[in-house]
Amino acid sequence: MLDDINVLAQRDPGGALKIAGNQYKQAEFKVDIQYGENDARKIDSIVVAGMGGSALAALLVNTWLKTELDIPFEVVRTYNLPAYVGKNTLVIASSYSGNTEETLSCLAQAKTAGSQIAIIAAAGKLEEDARKDHMAFVSLPGGIQPRMAMIYNLCALVALFENFGVIKPGRLDEIAKTSSWLKSEVDKWAGEVPTGDNYAKQLAMLSVGKSAEFFGGTLTAPLAYKWKISWNENAKNVAFWNEYPEMNHNEFMGWTSHPIEKPFVIFDIVSNLEHPQILKRFEVSDRLLSGMRPKSTVIKLAGQTLIEQMLWGCILADFVSIYLAILNGVNPIPVQLIEKLKLELADN
């Protein structure tokens, strides 16, 4: 089925595969920060308020720049900012639509706290607020699903970090340099590449009719989360994620009391840059759970640097989940139930 171009076109009428295949171009996003003047206040903490793909971009940046950032950095995925937020906190309100209610709530609180504020959005109330109050603002290209705009968001975050002096210049250039290499990798997953040579199609075939769980390590936990949300939104499947070493302190035992015939597929997302003991935990855990849990499929991240591996893993997640949607007979793009929920929540 996945090698029939006509079937792909019928089941992917919105061109999700094409959108996924163009994500490498986002790495070269020329970020323009409007109203980005730095008022020279000392930033002593960073909060990114965002949901879904906006939060994912922040989680990736937090992991990537962990060894460089020397101030606390928190990702807030709810309605309220932490109590420590004040005038020396950089609060970045990020929402592709610009209308995410949790993010708007946090923005209002950041204004009350007198924080240094920046906004990332493609439209909506966030953009209106940024222009009205001349807050630092990055306008994202519009017209695609928010989950497919994650690399735009990541570039915007890094540019804002550089602008406000919390990291040294040069990281945005590192992202841009991944683009040509990513294209060469992404081309291998295109619809016209047969399953026998197409890693994305092969992983999708493993997953049909099963619930997936994705495991990451310290460096790849955000990727495990990314694969989970791609499964949810693109393939319309329930999925789960966890990370090592925490998994060994609880979930590890949860697999031991049931027979192996479980409707699960297990993916370990592994970076060769990971701590050696984390890598050992992946291997030993899978061996000790033999006969109690389906054997894991190891996704070894390609790339020489962590940012290459992260972006490669994110784009692969979209391809695999889109192919799984096609196998499931569902359109990968619409998320009608989420939109219905938003309307009902907004109905006063």
- Please tell me whether residues 187 and 310 are part of one structural domain: yes
Residue 113 has pLDDT above 90, yes or no: yes
With both helix axes pointing from N to C terminus, report the angle between 306-328 and 52-64 in degrees, rounded to the nearest 10.
Answer: 150
Active site residue 258: no
- Please tell me whether residues 98 and 201 are part of one structural domain: no
Residue 264 sits in which domain range? 5-11+179-328
What is the residue-averaged pLDDT of the chain? 96
C-alpha closest to that of 19 among 225, 230, 174: 230
Residue 23 has pLDDT above 70, yes or no: yes
- Quick check: is 211 in a domain? yes
- Please tell me whether residues 267 and 167 are part of one structural domain: no
Supply the pLDDT for residue 261: 66
Residue 217 contacts residue 279 (beta carbons within 8 Å): yes
Give the Cβ contact number of residue 67 at 10 Å.
7
- Quick check: is 198 in a domain? yes
Environment class of 95 (CB within 10 Å of its CB; exposed 0-12, middle 13-18, buried 19+): buried
* Mean pLDDT computed over 179-193: 98
- Quick check: is 97 in a domain? yes
Q: Which of 159, 176, 193 is the endpoint of a domain?
A: 176
Q: Which of 176, 209, 240 is the endpoint of a domain?
A: 176
Supply the pLDDT for residue 260: 61
- Please tell me whether residues 208 and 99 are part of one structural domain: no
Residue 304 half-sphere exposure toward CB, CA atoms < 13 A = 5
Active site residue 233: yes
* Nearest-angstrom CA–CA distance, 167 and 331: 41
Per residue in 222-269, pLDDT tens? 999 999 999 999 999 999 999 999 999 999 999 998 666 678 999 999
- Quick check: is 22 in a domain? no
* Nearest-angstrom CA–CA distance, 138 and 229: 25
Q: Are strands 89-94 and 116-121 parallel, antiparallel or unpaired?
A: parallel
Residue 283 has pLDDT above 70, yes or no: yes
- Please tell me whether residues 146 and 241 are part of one structural domain: no
Q: What angle do CA 206, 210, 215 make, to 5 degrees?
A: 75
- Please tell me whether residues 123 and 40 are part of one structural domain: yes
- Quick check: is 257 in a domain? yes
- Please tell me whether residues 266 and 322 are part of one structural domain: yes
Tally of domains within the chain: 2
Residue 98 contacts residue 138 (beta carbons within 8 Å): no
Strand order in the sheet with 239-243: 239-243, 211-216, 264-270, 297-300
- Please tell me whether residues 314 and 230 are part of one structural domain: yes
Task: Kindly report the CATH number assigned to the domain that includes residue 244.
Answer: 3.40.50.10490
3-state secondary structure of 299: strand
Q: What are phi and psi of 238, to 5 degrees?
A: -70, 140
Catalytic residue from among 168, 249, 261, 344: 249
- Please tell me whether residues 144 and 200 are part of one structural domain: no
pTM for the predicted model, two decimal places:
0.95
What is the distance in angstroms between the CA of the first residue and the CA of the last residue of the chain?
Answer: 46
- Quick check: is 335 in a domain? no
Per residue in 43-88, pLDDT tens? 999 999 999 999 999 999 999 999 999 999 999 999 999 999 999 9
- Please tell me whether residues 188 and 143 are part of one structural domain: no
Residue 290 has pLDDT above 70, yes or no: yes
Both tokens of residue 236?
């319309």
Taken in order 177, 180, 181, 182, the sign of the CA dihedral is positive
The pLDDT-based confidence of 151 (bands split at 50, 70, 90) is: very high
Residues sharing a CB contact under 8 Å with residue 182, sequence separation 6 or more, in sequence order: 23, 24, 27, 308, 311, 312, 315
- Please tell me whether residues 152 and 211 are part of one structural domain: no
> What residue has token string 């029939």?
4
Catalytic residue from among 185, 233, 243, 308: 233
Both tokens of residue 34?
């409007």
Residue 130 contacts residue 107 (beta carbons within 8 Å): no
- Please tell me whether residues 206 and 300 are part of one structural domain: yes
